[in-house]
């Protein structure tokens, strides 16, 4: 047995303070943590409940909700949460995907790069802003280019950590395209780092997922060559 082990090997999440978990950017699963009853409530009810709770948050902060600029904020935030920035939580909002036969017999990698996305850190509920780069090699079928963007946006529109977002995009594409030959790289800025805490405005975070032929060094290098053009 090694005399020294890494922190992550010795540390139990159950023993950690919730703030410490968030500060150490620990992701507990490749699946978004959802309760079994997450979708029992319809969107209208969710919006109403969030509106009530957010109004109370604003009251606790001492804001005057009678002010013309603020009185509509609780409802605006509630609608934004359910219909926009967290709409990717609901499976019914997954984009409709249509596959096409690879009639061109194109057997090289297809790269869709610089896909701009906006997500939210699940530890502090502040924005993650970045770009996703996706590649795959067809196993017989291809996907419309815009659908790759829509898949990225779907998984971004939920409380996230970047590692999980990277894996979810890759796993979804592998399942849809019936191929292991998928690569995903994400380069993003986290406002939980730049606007609070350490307040580092110059750093960015890069995550990657390689499977199938993309595990080969020459394929990784070819993929990165496209990204650096």
Q: Which residues are part of the catalytic machinery?
A: 121-124, 162, 190, 192
Contact between 207 and 162 (Cβ < 8 Å)? yes
CA distances from residue 132 to 135, 178, 193 in whole angstroms, order as listed: 10, 21, 19
- Parallel/antiparallel/unpaired status of strands 159-160 and 110-121: parallel
């Amino acid at each position: 047995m090694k005399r020294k082990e890494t922190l992550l090997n010795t540390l139990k999440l159950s023993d950690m303070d919730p703030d410490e978990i968030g500060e150490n950017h620990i992701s507990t699963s490749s699946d978004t943590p959802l309760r079994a009853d997450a979708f029992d409530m319809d969107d209208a009810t969710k919006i109403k409940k969030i509106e009530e709770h957010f109004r109370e948050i604003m009251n606790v902060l001492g804001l005057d909700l009678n002010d013309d600029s603020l009185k509509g904020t609780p409802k605006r935030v509630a609608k934004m949460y359910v219909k926009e920035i967290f709409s990717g939580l609901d499976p019914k909002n997954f984009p409709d995907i249509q596959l096409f036969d690879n009639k061109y017999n194109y057997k090289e990698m297809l790269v869709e790069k610089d896909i701009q996305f906006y997500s939210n850190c699940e530890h502090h509920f502040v924005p993650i802003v970045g770009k996703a780069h996706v590649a795959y090699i067809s196993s017989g079928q291809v996907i419309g280019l815009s659908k790759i963007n829509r898949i990225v946006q779907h998984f971004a529109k939920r409380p996230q950590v970047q590692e999980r977002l990277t894996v979810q995009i890759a796993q979804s594409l592998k399942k849809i395209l019936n191929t292991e030959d998928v690569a995903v790289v994400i380069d993003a800025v986290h406002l939980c780092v730049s606007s609070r805490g350490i307040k580092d405005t110059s750093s960015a975070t890069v995550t990657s997922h390689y499977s199938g032929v993309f595990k080969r060094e020459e394929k990784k290098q070819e993929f990165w060559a496209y990204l650096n053009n």
